[in-house]
Amino acid sequence: MRKPHMHRAWMILGSSSITLFIAYAIRIGAFSVLLPEMIQEFQLTKAEGGMIKTSMMFTYTLFSPLVGWLTDRIGGRFVICFFCLFLGAGTFLMGKTSGLLTAVLFFGIVGIGAAGLWTPVVTLVQRWFGESRRGLALGILSPSYVLGFGLMGLILPIIVKQYGWRIGWFILGICGFGLVPLNAAFLRSRPEEMGIVPWAESLKESKAAASADQPLGYSKIFTKQVFWLIGFAYLLIASGTYIILDFIVTYGVMELKIHYTVASGLISVVGFSSVFGGFILLTLSDYIGRKKSLVIIQTWLGCGILLTIFVGNRITLMMVGMGIFGFLYGAIWPMYGATARDYFPKEMTGTIIGLWTIFYGVGAMICPVVAGYLADVTGTFRWPFGLAALTCFIAALLVGFLRKPTKFDRQP
């Protein structure tokens, strides 16, 4: 008897996981771990260090709506392969940085590449898995991006010690280029192209979902309260989480006087705890709903940040705070991606996530400069970290106003 072939959805999920692993190793892990070295070599202020990250988020935000639109119209496979070229080029050039201006320019190129990865990948994965298993699929996907930056906290300090911080950027740039042939070989944009249905979904269910989901015009999208509620919550949670991720190593090294290797380990704690949290919380969200899950997650994220502020340089308690933060953080972005499919038609998932990324990008662009400026003015990162906790609590409050999604939400 012939054994059944593996469903293509799992190959899509595997390639997507590797893609997010490399992308987040670059945009969060490498930046957070290598930033203190760059600040010291180029004698930058903390606000100037934040400007480098802001340049990446500016181009990321600028291109994300276009990327979402392209994903819905020409498919995620081509979009992902094309933008991986920018990711690899920008990252490699970061190793050639000669000061603030070139760092801003090159990390901006990284942002263009990163824009073409998150939205198409999350959209692609949701199209290949059935309605009742999207949380499970995204839960399996989530460890990839948190491991991406988590492992950088262990690997990059070793590379920096032996070869310098520039080699770290060069290595990751080459990895970025390697994503192009990988995704070209394994990705396919839609199961319909191959004459199959999503995994864990029957042919009858697939046809019913397709007939129920009618695309919405932009005017209809912008009149829906749910679009704006989720968008502003997305902005706030992006601001809060990136204040922590961008500056936790710098906080440890420059303010608490923790050894560089130990401070870099805080990023690893976030990454490794996110592996378990992402899978558990996203799978659970299939049963208790995305709204309730987001309220719980964002509330406790704020609590984890507050714990980090109050424990000072007590390393064990800082690790606990970052562990709580990471466990919850791992589910945040896929969870928001899943709400796009909950409240809007399937064929508009990329467009909606791309539009919400504008909110995300505004929050992530503002926070590094604001946080760096507050730290420069007050002489401590505790004020910007307190601001981060507050944004998490307000994001939870906004999501609490959402009503339960129904099929009516998806009608034009």
Q: pLDDT tens for residues 74-100?
A: 888 999 999 999 999 999 999 999 889
What is the mean pLDDT of the segment spanning 246-256?
A: 85
Q: Could you tell me the pLDDT band of residue 252, with boundaries at 50, 70 and 90? A: confident
Q: What's the token pair of residue 317? A: 């308690």
* All structural domains of the chain with their residue ranges: 11-186+209-410
Query: Do residues 144 and 23 touch, judged by C-beta distance below 8 A?
Result: no
Fold of 11-186+209-410: Growth Hormone; Chain: A; (1.20.1250)
Identify whether the C-beta of residue 32 lies closer than 8 Å to the C-beta of residue 267: yes
Task: Find out whether 320 and 273 touch, Cβ atoms under 8 Å.
Answer: no
Whether residue 321 contacts residue 307, with contact meaning beta carbons closer than 8 Å, is answered with: yes
Structure tokens at 133: 């298993």
Task: Tell me the CB-side half-sphere exposure of residue 67, using CA atoms within 13 A.
Answer: 34
Q: Rounded mean pLDDT of 161-186?
A: 93
- What percent of the chain shows pLDDT beyond 90? 29
| pLDDT given at position 217 | 64
- pLDDT higher at 387 or 404: 387
Strand partners, 129: 199
Q: Write out the two tokens for 321.
A: 């705070």
Which pLDDT does position 237 carry in this prediction?
A: 94
Q: How far apart are CA 276 and CA 290, in angstroms?
A: 18
pTM for this entry: 0.74
Tokens of 20: 């997010």
Work out the mean pLDDT of the chain and round it to a whole number. 84
Instruction: Residue 277: name the closest of 328, 333, 336, 338 by CA.
Output: 328
pLDDT of 202 over the 60 cut: no
Q: Which of 88-92, 121-125, 314-318 has the highest mean pLDDT?
A: 88-92
Q: Mind spelling out the 3-state secondary structure of the chain?
A: CCCCCCCHHHHHHHHHHHHHHHHHHHHHHHHHHHHHHHHHHHCCCHHHHHHHHHHHHHHHHHHHHHHHHHHHHHCHHHHHHHHHHHHHHHHHHHCCCCCHHHHHHHHHHHHHHHHCCHHHHHHHHHHHECHHHHHHHHHHHHHHHHHHHHHHHHHHHHHHHHHCHHHHHHHHHHHHHHHHHHHHHHCCCCHHHHCCCCECCCHHHHHHHHHHCCCCCHHHHHHCHHHHHHHHHHHHHHHHHHHHHHHHHHHHHHHCCCCHHHHHHHHHHHHHHHHHHHHHHHHHHHHHCHHHHHHHHHHHHHHHHHHHHHCCCCHHHHHHHHHHHHHHHHHHHHHHHHHHHHHCCHHHHHHHHHHHHHHHHHHHHHHHHHHHHHHHHHCCCHHHHHHHHHHHHHHHHHHCCCCCCCHHHHCC
To which residue do tokens 């922590």 refer? 244
Q: Which of 17-26, 114-123, 133-142, 214-223 has the lowest mean pLDDT?
A: 214-223
d(CA 401, CA 404): 10
Determine contact, residues 119/354, Cβ cutoff 8 Å: yes
pLDDT (average), residues 105-125: 91
CA 352 – CA 181 distance, rounded (Å): 28
Using the structure block, give the residue that is written with the tokens 């990008």.
Answer: 361
Contact 93, 192 (CB under 8 A): no
